[in-house]
A and B are shown apart, each in its own frame.
Chain A
Amino acid sequence: MNVVVCVKQIPDPAVPGELNADNTLKREGKLILDESDSYGVEMALQLVEAAGGGEVTLISMAPNNEVSGLRTALAMGAAKAVLVSDDALHGADALTTAKVLAKCVERVGGVDLLLAATESTDGYTGTVPAQVGALLGWPALTFAKHVELGDGKVAIQRQTEAGYDDVEAPLPAVVSVTAGVVEPRYPSFKGIMAAKSKPVDEVTAGDLGLSGDDIAAHQNIVSVAAAPAREAGEKFEDDGTGFEKVVAFLDELKVI
């Protein structure tokens, strides 16, 4: 069982996001493993372990040959990684990202299952996994809150607005997992040391056979503005009668 996991390396989400002069996201500083992807990495490790053979390979597209986030995921136990880094990919949209990741899957070869998060923390278009599926011509099962393999098939519980659906597809397939699908492990000291020497295959868009129109963005940000702030109203310290203020307000609004 060979599982590939998409791993996005993102600016620290605790620091408020900023845009460059060209309205692309600032990604200069150190990048970290998107926490959303730690679930995919853990899921992959568990599936390969349960299958009793195979390996977990990471794929990532990030600027400046950034590997910090990849090292974190390698320390959790993944065997190796492919990293795509290329100035030509600066400001890439989700579809371009999907094209790059699909090529990475082909480069790894012999892949049974591709895992990703349902959406990234910084861009959250939530479209990359199904785009990669369509580009590879594989079934894409999104929003998985439970994943099982068996019989050449993948079976998931797909989270829906109303509850969940049992969905199944033959391998190879793409699955996007929600936060909480499994509890990600913390890298051990041994894992962290081992990660330093695990292979990272560093490639450019050209190495993957992508150039020009394949990776051109077709969107233009024309204005950026702060969202209108909502005014704060009255605030009271509860002295045991706070509930009366709520009752009075609900009364005024005629909801009671």
Chain B
Amino acid sequence: MKIWVFAESEGDNATTATLELLTKAREIGSVECVYVGANVDAIAPQLGEHGAAKVFALDAGDGLPGVIGGAAIAGLVEAEQPDLILFAQSGDGRDAMAVASAKLDRTVLTNGVGLAADGDTVTVNAAIFGGNTLVDTVFDGPKPYLAGIRPKSFVAEPGGAGAGEVVRVDSVDAGRAGEAKVLERHVEEREGPKLEEASVVVSGGRGIGAEENYKPLVEDLANMLGGASGASRAIVDAGWVPYSKQVGQTGKTVKPKVYLALGISGATQHMVGMKGSDNIIAVNKDPEAPIFSVADLGIVGDVHKVVPALIEALKNRG
């Protein structure tokens, strides 16, 4: 089976989600990438290290990488005949899978958390209803099959070294979609590790009470533990913290060694993004809060009492 992975980058690095897909794909078949972005000389070797034999590359300039990537994939399929094309369920990945799906007239199975192939049958395992129910879906109809996979579904590991041979794609017919231009990128400053990669994540929810409590309760504790700070959607929608901190169905999936949920009720849409953590600690004043059903350690109490005392105790340990 020939598998394509839509590769994405951040600066000089392939995204972790891309490497996760490559790691899984090389278990199933032979792997090639379609990469849209700058720095292909830095990116291609990383894709190769994770199993990509070939990298079809083009620089979208100030175009939207997902939209152009989807069009590029659609344009290459006839000559290259991939059987299965994988996309990360990221912003650009979603654009790419949608455009490829429309242009190739193929359904796309989205929000996958598992993938298996048996001969020509490809099964995508997805979590629906906010993560409560798992469904296995198989493709029928003509190939290539398209699948969107949520980040953190697989563990990225180098190996199965592919050559990462770069094949430049000169032009792509994105039609009027190519007229969309990125004028400027705004990057929020971040201290400490990335949310998806931190070994400790401290998240705050509506129970922290007010925007000004986020720093002293959530951020400070995360910093003391060398971790990253996260949030429930309730406080992202309220404008207390940026979207980049959101954990859950419509935010990031995290699987740290320890996840601390402070004043978070534990809605299914939040839990689908964090219940794969190794250990979960919850502080909530409501003993019936659903978050306790997944917590290894639950403290029924007021975050304004428990957290400052915890920070004080950690300080005293030096």
Contact = CB atoms under 8 A, between A and B. Distances in A.
Most buried by B among A98, A125, A173: A125
Contacts of A230: 275, 280, 293-294
A184 to B, nearest CB: 12
Given A218-B140, A220-B138, A227-B134, A236 B300 contact: yes
B314 A247 contact: yes
Nearest to B124: A219
A206 interface: no
Contacts, number: 270
B250 interface: yes
Interface string B271-306: 000010001110100010000111111111110011
A227 B281 CA distance: 21
A198 B141 CA distance: 41
Nearest to B236: A180
Given A127-B110, A167-B181, A249 B102 contact: no
B92 to A, nearest CB: 9
A17 B302 CA distance: 33
A40 to B, nearest CB: 16
Interface stretch (B19-27, B50-58, B203-211, B241-249): B241-249
A130 B98 contact: yes
Interface string A212-229: 000011111111111101
Given A168-B181, A256-B317, A236 B305 contact: no
B137 A220 contact: yes
B260 to A, nearest CB: 8
A180 B148 CA distance: 25
Interface residues of B, number: 94
Main secondary structure of the interface of A (DSSP, over half): mixed
A211 to B, nearest CB: 15
B249 A124 contact: yes
Main secondary structure of the interface of B (DSSP, over half): mixed
B98 A219 contact: no
A256 B226 CA distance: 9
A229 B123 CA distance: 22
A238 B309 CA distance: 11
B298 A236 contact: yes
A155 to B, nearest CB: 8
A29 interface: no
B99 A17 contact: no
A17 B260 CA distance: 28
Interface in A226-252: 226-227, 229-230, 232-238, 240, 242-247, 249-250
B43 interface: no
18 contacts: A94-B108, A95-B102, A127-B110, A127-B148, A135-B102, A161-B244, A162-B185, A162-B188, A163-B188, A168-B180, A168-B181, A227-B133, A236-B298, A238-B306, A247-B313, A250-B225, A255-B200, A255-B226
A-B pairs, top 10 by smallest CB distance, nearest first, are A238-B301, A218-B141, A130-B98, A134-B102, A233-B296, A235-B298, A169-B180, A127-B98, A243-B309, A243-B310
Given A218-B141, A226-B133, A243-B313, 7 more contacts: A17-B128, A143-B91, A165-B185, A221-B135, A243-B306, A246-B283, A249-B279
Interface of B: 10, 64, 66-67, 70, 89-91, 94-95, 97-99, 101-103, 105-111, 123, 127-129, 131-142, 148, 175-188, 199-200, 225-226, 237, 239, 242-244, 249-250, 257-258, 260, 275, 279-281, 283, 287, 292-302, 305-307, 309-310, 312-314, 317
Interface of A: 16-17, 19, 23, 93-95, 98, 119, 124-135, 137-143, 145, 155, 158-170, 173, 178-180, 216-227, 229-230, 232-238, 240, 242-247, 249-250, 253, 255-256
